[in-house]
Amino acid sequence: MKRNCSVCGAELDIKVAKDRSYRGGHYFGEVKVPVEGAKEVELYETEIEGLGKVTVVEHDKYDKFEYWECDRCFHGEERLREK
């Protein structure tokens, strides 16, 4: 299946095996983002561990997309973390 790297946009050719393992990219899960022009419908405060009080904004319309990274971006980030 074809996916695109969410960081640099490179095309990824993902091969999924029978045991559901895959190679060709790194999958981080589904990301929910408000669509362009979505209305803010609700604001509330909540406590997040490590962050303290944050204001959460709910929107009326969301888009879901899969977050993928190519090998280069994935390992590039790892290198940064080691510093």
Cα 24 from Cα 13, distance rounded (Å): 6
Task: Determine if 73 is a binding residue for Zn ion (CB under 5 A).
Answer: yes
Task: Determine if 8 is a binding residue for Zn ion (CB under 5 A).
Answer: yes
Cα 72 from Cα 26, distance rounded (Å): 10
Nearer to Zn ion, 11 or 58 (CB): 11
The site that binds Zn ion (CB under 5 A) totals a number of residues, namely 6
Task: Determine if 12 is a binding residue for Zn ion (CB under 5 A).
Answer: no
Half-sphere exposure of 66 (CA within 13 A, CB side): 13
Give the interface with Zn ion as residue ranges (CB under 5 A). 5, 7-8, 10, 70, 73
